[in-house]
Amino acid sequence: QVQLVESGGGLVQAGGSLRLSCAASGRTFGSYAMGWFRQDPGKEREFVATITLSSGSTLYADSVKGRFTISRDNAKTTVYLQMNSPKPEDTAVYYCAAGRWGTLPTSYDYWGQGTQVTVSS
């Protein structure tokens, strides 16, 4: 069992930067791939980024590639999403997830409660 708690969301200006954190509890953190997803009201949950167990591989949605960076610290059982040059269309609730490697929400077994990110123009 893994419990995930996101933090770091808030209001940011377009072109600024913001770092999201996801703290995981449970001794099996290192057994899971970690992902970030986002969701707007009335829309499906959208893949943002994912990182493998050993941080050897990452994958990004085309919409955030080159602007966002996912990383993890297994010793601190924390995964991060560094958001540089955010755009108003990045506004959403961001969710952290733990599970198998993939871009679909169904690849992940555990989810955080989400943190709101609002990008002003």
* pLDDT tens column, 23-64: 999 767 778 899 999 999 889 999 999 998 777 799 999 999
14's tokens: 């377009």
Rounded Cα distance, 15 and 32, in Å: 32
pLDDT per residue as tens digits for the range 62-117: 999 999 999 998 888 899 999 999 999 999 999 999 999 899 999 999 999 999 99
Amino acid at 47: F
